[in-house]
Amino acid sequence: MELVKPSIGLIFWMVVSFSIILFLLKKFAWKPILGMIKEREESIENALASAEKAKEEMKALQSNNEKILADARAERDLLLKDARDIREKMISDAKSIASKEGERMLTAARENIQNEKMAAITELKNQVASLSIDIAEKILKSELSSDEKQKSLVTTLLKDVKLN
Amino acid sequence: MTNKINIFKPFSSALFLLFAFLFISNATFAGDSDNKPAAMQSEVSVTAPAEGSDKKEHTEGGFDAGKMIMEHVSDSHSWHLFGHYAIPLPIIVKTDKGIEVFSSSHFGHEGEERYQGSNYNYGLVDGSIVVVDSQLEGVDAAATATLTDFSITKNVAAMLISMLLMLWVFLSVAKAYTKNPGKAPKGLQSFIEPLIIFVRDDVAKPSIGEKKYERFMPFLLTVFFFILFNNYLGLIPFFPGGVNLTGSISIAMVLAGFTLLITFFIANKHYWRHVFAMPGVPIPVLIILTPIEILGLFLRPFVLMIRLFANITAGHIIALAFFSLIFIFGEMNAGLGLGVSLFSLVFTIFMGFLELLVAFLQAYVFTLLSAIYFGSAVDEGHDVHNHVDDHTDSRTTH
């Protein structure tokens, strides 16, 4: 069979030319092509990796920002609460001071009034006493203006005094 | 993704064109066979000048499909184009008296003429060159035995053309890579790159391993593209295609031989130990096993050779056989031939598609099996101290 009989000529040329083309392609085609493909793949991989990294960093930054924001908000809330507390306290303090002062003033006024009243009463008493003395004096004077009157008085008085 | 679509768009239209050519020129080929039946004239419109006179004598001779097919799948000393046109190729013969170079046109169109060389007189018998005696009649058997044929035959010429094509394609692709490094591939580059990456990622890396695959890439790529280019060129039915080059046993033998030699050169101690003395196998078994292993060394590339040769040759034979049917039936009855031609056309188109697949598949299979042989030859094996490393390695790389 012609078909399955290897021919020496063809084998010879094939070996020679295949070796040559293998060498030429290896040196001038496969080496640069494979090198470039690899280089490109690496650069793409690096780019992807760095993009991923940037994304990661962005995320971290964002979460950081959010944290800062949350902290600030919490701080603000705290400050507001403190202020509100202080205000309330101040108001209540002021209120209590005011009421105390009022009370004190009231008490003082009340005491004053009492004192004044007492003084007035004393004065009144004194005046009433001196008036009654004056009246008594005037009555006595008139009662004791004549001797008969004196004598009747003494007898009246003596009547009351029973000698036991 | 869109890139991929862009790559294959021109490709598909090219495929369509290829098909259009495939069946037209297959018809041409069948028609050009020197035994032309009358019915053929109605089928194909090949008008070689001498056809009119030929018609009668060939009708008498009848159409010999087997001869026609064999002529097309075998090598020859001239490149038949169409009709009575053929490209004469240089004949280079080495005899005991030295080397002679002359044109194959000296043998005439049918190889019926003799050439009077300075050392011997040469003739062509059944496609092979023989030394004839001084009367230019009988064959000089003793001198023919010393003759070695180094002619640039049709296959050699087709091989050289395909190699020039490969050089042009890949050097221009390489230039495109060096011109704009790091950029997305363009044009031819973007058509070739997926194939290169395919060979690298789906053939070399899984078979040889991430660490060692790189040194085999030039050979694997060259073999892959050589087979691929020639398979596809073989499917194109006109010059410079249509040659059953990868379906030639000599070509397949050289390719498989390269694989064998490379395997032998790079094989490590571990590989040879497994061949000659499989570890852990008792000596009585080794007596049987070692010869089988040694036979296996040569059997594997042999199978590579047969697979490529048989697949591609079968494809060519089937494609031609379907067209031969037209002429065989046409000889009986012109109408029958016409009817069968429709059937043949459909089947040839189907076979054409199948051959497109086979062309790629055979290139892939040859490359893959070569890669697997290399992989087994450089494998560090499963020795006790290597075992763990090997597995952790494979787990991390895949």
Query: Torsions phi, psi of B131, nearest 5?
Result: -90, 130
- CA B170 – CA A162 distance, rounded (Å): 171
- CA A104 – CA A77 distance, rounded (Å): 40
Q: Quick one: pLDDT band at residue B76, thresholds 50, 70, 90? A: confident
- CA B397 – CA B206 distance, rounded (Å): 9
Is A33 close to B170, i.e. CB distance below 8 A? yes
| Chain B residues whose beta carbon lies within 8 Å of the beta carbon of residue A31 | 218
Task: Give the relative orientation of helices B154-179 and B249-266 as an angle to the nearest 10 degrees.
Answer: 50
Is B218 close to A30, i.e. CB distance below 8 A? yes
Taking chain B, what is the end-to-end CA distance rounded to the nearest angstrom? 24
B47 Cβ neighbours under 8 A, 6+ residues apart: B83
Does any CB of chain A come closer than 8 Å to the CB of residue B253?
yes
Let me know if A28 is exposed, middle or buried by CB neighbors in 10 A (0-12, 13-18, 19+): middle
Is A2 close to B193, i.e. CB distance below 8 A? no
Q: Give the CB-side neighbour count of residue B235, counting CA atoms within 13 A.
A: 26
pLDDT-above-90 percentage for chain A: 60
pLDDT score at B38: 37
| Chain A residues whose beta carbon lies within 8 Å of the beta carbon of residue B183 | 40
Paired residues of B91 in beta bridges: B102
Higher per-residue confidence, A21 vs B329: A21
Instruction: Say if residues B371 and B216 touch (Cβ distance below 8 Å).
Output: yes
| Chain B residues whose beta carbon lies within 8 Å of the beta carbon of residue A22 | 218-219, 222
| Chain A residues whose beta carbon lies within 8 Å of the beta carbon of residue B226 | 18, 21
Query: Any idea of the CA torsion for B35, B41, B43, B46, to the nearest 10 degrees?
Result: 80
- The most confident of B117-121, B122-126, B376-380, by mean pLDDT: B376-380
Residue B310, pLDDT above cutoff 50 = yes
Q: Would you state the structure tokens that stand for residue B311, as one six-digit string?
A: 């697949």
B114: DSSP letter: -
Q: What is the mean pLDDT of residues B127-142?
A: 79
Q: Which of A5, A7, A8, A11 is best to mutate for the B interface (most B CBs within 10 A)?
A: A7
Please tell me the distance in Å from A49's CA to the nearest CA on chain B.
Answer: 17
Q: Which of A3, A9, A28 sits opposite B70 (nearest CB)?
A: A3
Q: Quick one: pLDDT band at residue B4, thresholds 50, 70, 90? A: very low
Instruction: Say if residues B31 and B324 touch (Cβ distance below 8 Å).
Output: no
Candidates B225, B220, B226; CA nearest to B245 is B226
Candidates B296, B219, B221, B225; CA nearest to B258 is B219
CB pairs under 8 A between A and B: 119
Q: Quick one: pLDDT band at residue A164, thresholds 50, 70, 90? A: low
- CA B344 – CA B355 distance, rounded (Å): 15
pLDDT score at B113: 81
Please tell me the distance in Å from A59's CA to the nearest CA on chain B.
Answer: 29
Is B182 close to A28, i.e. CB distance below 8 A? no
Summarised one tens digit per residue, pLDDT across range B352-363 is: 899 999 999 999
Nearest CA in chain B to A3: B74
pLDDT score at B74: 84
pLDDT score at B295: 92
Is A5 close to B249, i.e. CB distance below 8 A? yes
Cis peptide before B284 (omega within 30 of 0): no
pLDDT score at B27: 39
B120 Cβ neighbours under 8 A, 6+ residues apart: B95, B97, B100, B131, B132, B140, B143, B147
Tell me the residues of chain B between 262 and 321 that have a Cβ less than 8 Å away from chain A: 309, 313
Nearest CA in chain B to A42: B182
pLDDT score at B390: 41
Candidates B251, B359, B381; CA nearest to B314 is B359
Q: Which of A19, A33, A37, A40 is best to mutate for the B interface (most B CBs within 10 A)?
A: A33
A68 Cβ neighbours under 8 A, 6+ residues apart: none
Summarised one tens digit per residue, pLDDT across range B338-351 is: 888 888 888 888 88
pLDDT-above-70 percentage for chain B: 80
Q: Quick one: pLDDT band at residue B8, thresholds 50, 70, 90? A: very low
| Chain B residues whose beta carbon lies within 8 Å of the beta carbon of residue A28 | 170-171, 174
Is B148 close to A8, i.e. CB distance below 8 A? yes
B313 Cβ neighbours under 8 A, 6+ residues apart: A3, B73, B244, B247
Q: Would you state the structure tokens that stand for residue B263, as one six-digit string?
A: 């395997």
pLDDT score at A163: 66
B77: DSSP letter: S
Instruction: Say if residues B341 and B19 touch (Cβ distance below 8 Å).
Output: no
- The reported pTM is 0.70
| Chain A residues whose beta carbon lies within 8 Å of the beta carbon of residue B151 | 9
- CA B364 – CA B358 distance, rounded (Å): 9
A11 within some domain: no
Is B197 close to A12, i.e. CB distance below 8 A? no
Q: Which of A27-41, B4-18, B169-183, B317-331 has the lowest mean pLDDT?
A: B4-18
Residue B10, pLDDT above cutoff 60 = no
Q: The tokens 């499963």 sit on which residue? A: B382
Let me know if A30 is exposed, middle or buried by CB neighbors in 10 A (0-12, 13-18, 19+): buried
**Side chain identity at B187, as an amino acid letter?**
G
Range of the domain at A88: 25-143
Output Rg (C-alpha) for chain A, integer angstroms.
66
Q: Quick one: pLDDT band at residue A132, thresholds 50, 70, 90? A: confident
- The most confident of A39-53, B24-38, B175-189, by mean pLDDT: A39-53
Q: What is the mean pLDDT of residues B87-115?
A: 84
Global ipTM: 0.76
Q: Would you state the structure tokens that stand for residue A71, as one six-digit string?
A: 């902290």
Q: What is the mean pLDDT of residues B244-272?
A: 91
pLDDT score at B161: 92
Q: Quick one: pLDDT band at residue B381, thresholds 50, 70, 90? A: low
Is A3 close to B182, i.e. CB distance below 8 A? no
Instruction: Say if residues B78 and B89 touch (Cβ distance below 8 Å).
Output: yes
- Give B240-288 as a DSSP string: TS----TTSHHHHHHHHHHHHHHHHHH--HHHHHHHHS-TT--HHHHHH
Q: What is the mean pLDDT of residues B191-203?
A: 92
The 10 Å Cβ neighbour count of residue B363 is 24
- CA B291 – CA A136 distance, rounded (Å): 172
Distances (CA, A) of B340 to B26, B305, B324, B348: 15, 35, 10, 12
Task: Give the relative orientation of helices A31-143 and B154-179 as an angle to the nearest 10 degrees.
Answer: 30
Residue B32, pLDDT above cutoff 70 = no
Instruction: Say if residues B73 and B244 touch (Cβ distance below 8 Å).
Output: yes
Please tell me the distance in Å from A72's CA to the nearest CA on chain B.
Answer: 47
Please tell me the distance in Å from A1's CA to the nearest CA on chain B.
Answer: 10
Question: Does an H or E element contain A101, and which?
Answer: helix A31-143
Please tell me the distance in Å from B315's CA to the nearest CA on chain A.
Answer: 14
A17 within some domain: no
Count of structural domains, chain A: 1
Q: Which of A2, A14, A36 sits opposite B251 (nearest CB)?
A: A14
Tell me the residues of chain B between 221 and 250 that have a Cβ less than 8 Å away from chain A: 221-222, 226, 248-250
Residue B275, pLDDT above cutoff 60 = yes
Residue B12, pLDDT above cutoff 80 = no
Q: Of how many residues is chain A composed?
A: 164
A9 within some domain: no
Q: The tokens 């036979």 sit on which residue? A: B295
Residue B253, pLDDT above cutoff 90 = yes
Q: Of how many residues is chain B composed?
A: 398
Higher per-residue confidence, B36 vs B305: B305
B15 Cβ neighbours under 8 A, 6+ residues apart: B356
Tell me the residues of chain B between 60 and 79 that have a Cβ less than 8 Å away from chain A: 70, 73-75
Residue B34, pLDDT above cutoff 90 = no
Q: What is the mean pLDDT of residues B205-221?
A: 91
Distances (CA, A) of A39 to A33, B107, B182, B200: 10, 56, 7, 15
Instruction: Say if residues B207 and B259 touch (Cβ distance below 8 Å).
Output: no
The 10 Å Cβ neighbour count of residue B156 is 27
Q: What is the mean pLDDT of chain B?
A: 78
Q: What is the mean pLDDT of residues A92-104?
A: 93
Residue A125, pLDDT above cutoff 80 = yes
A16 within some domain: no
Tell me the residues of chain B between 107 and 146 that have a Cβ less than 8 Å away from chain A: 126-128
